Amino acid sequence: MTDQPPQNEPAKPAELGELVRRPSVRNLLISRACGSSGAVTLAIAMGVYVFDITGREFDIALVGLAEFLPTFLLVLWAGALADRLDRRRMATVGYLAEGAIAIAIAWYVSTGPISIGPLLGLTLAYGAARGFLNPATRALPANVVARQDLPRLVPALSTVWQLSSVFAPIIVGSLYGIGPTWTFLAIAGLDIVAAITISRVELHSQQKKSAVRPSISTAFEGLKLVRRTPLLLAAIGLDLFAVLLGGVVALAPAIASNLLETGESSAFWMRSAGGAGAAITALFLARTPITRHVGRRLLQAVAVFGMLTIAIAFSRNLIITLVLFGGLAAADMISVFVRATIVPLATPDSLRGRVLAVEAVFIGASNELGAFESGVTAEWFGLAPAIAVSGIATIAVVVAFVTLVPDLAKLDRFDDVMTDD
């Protein structure tokens, strides 16, 4: 007879190799890699293209704002839909819409435009598609693996995303040198692959779909849960302010041109350096996840993020700047790992889409709003001073959270995160 573990003994998490061998996990990984890489590359390519036309940091800010607004406006309805509809189908439609919009951008760029208005309009449309698919893709991993496997799946997803973010900007950046049209066609291809693979994901645990039709009251339930759950509010809020104030990555085209005085391709290299730092960190976390003092590690990572941001303001050497971008992304990856594990574990499945839609605005969309904030402050105060102030403000946010939310620093293990599911 095979010995069975006691029923009250928690199941052991699967090894990383075992997880990756599962077809559904592989499809999820491929979809995340392609979809996120397409979004990341579109953001940097659009910033470079707009900056080429106007030469103004403020226009980079407008690109960030155009990406942010749709996600902000759609957050409550998109989250409610992600709890009512099949999240795989919702994500598939979203990725296909992104691909179609990227093709439209490629066509417009091929006409040699001198006006950025239509480009901002198409960026708004791309942001709208992303606003619908974000809550679905963020909620899905918790249904693809068992609860005990989520702390290993989260960094695995981040690893493939970041690895592709290393190579995608380099490859797509080289296409940009041939012609910007090819860059946006390549982004469309990434979105189509993401749509195909996510449609083939099978679930480990069935989605507990909400039976209530989307309405104002049901849409607000995710926001209400975040507000009444101190740990959720603290984990999401910390990253919100840190990312909002630390949007230095969006300024890569201006850094390359004005601080380093290098070619436009340097902006793609900076993004790739960040992807490399994040990928190495994510791979380490996938093999050896953080299991103790998770709240303290989150706060430390955000503080390091702020210090490295300050250093970028003073660098005038491309190699040093690339190293700093790599370290910046590595610190951010630790923050992402802790938060992205806490949030789904602390959220019932029937509300997960709505809560993660709120998180998408507070975190994912705050990247774009942070880009807007960085572009505006750079226009007002100058590029280097704006970057330095962003880093100082990020450190101040960490000090505030240590003082005002002591329970976050005291969080020891992910098992301490409770849910009614």
The rounded distance, in Å, linking the Cα atoms of 61 and 70 is: 15
DSSP 261-281: ---THHHHHHHHHHHHHHHHH
CA 144 to chain centre: 19
Q: Between 312 and 171, whose confidence is greater?
A: 312
User: What is the per-residue pLDDT for 266?
Assistant: 83
Domains of the chain from N-terminus onward: 18-416 (1.20.1250.20)
Predicted pLDDT at 214:
58
More confident residue, 354 or 45: 45
Q: What is the mean pLDDT of residues 298-322?
A: 93
Least confident residue range of 107-116, 143-152, 188-197, 394-403: 143-152
Predicted pLDDT of residue 365 = 53
Q: Answer yes or no: is pLDDT of 90 > 60.
A: yes
For 221-247, what is each residue's pLDDT tens digit? 777 777 777 777 787 778 777 766 666
User: Is 175 in contact with 392 (CB distance < 8 Å)?
Assistant: no
Contact present, 96 and 192 (Cβ < 8 Å): yes
Note the pLDDT tens digit of each residue in 337-389: 888 788 877 777 777 777 776 776 666 555 656 666 777 778 788 889 989 98
Output the furthest CA–CA distance in the chain (Å, rounded).
Answer: 76
pLDDT reported for residue 163: 72
Contacts of 358 by beta carbon, 8 Å cutoff, 6+ apart = 75, 79, 222, 223, 226, 236
Q: Token digits for 311?
A: 């250093």
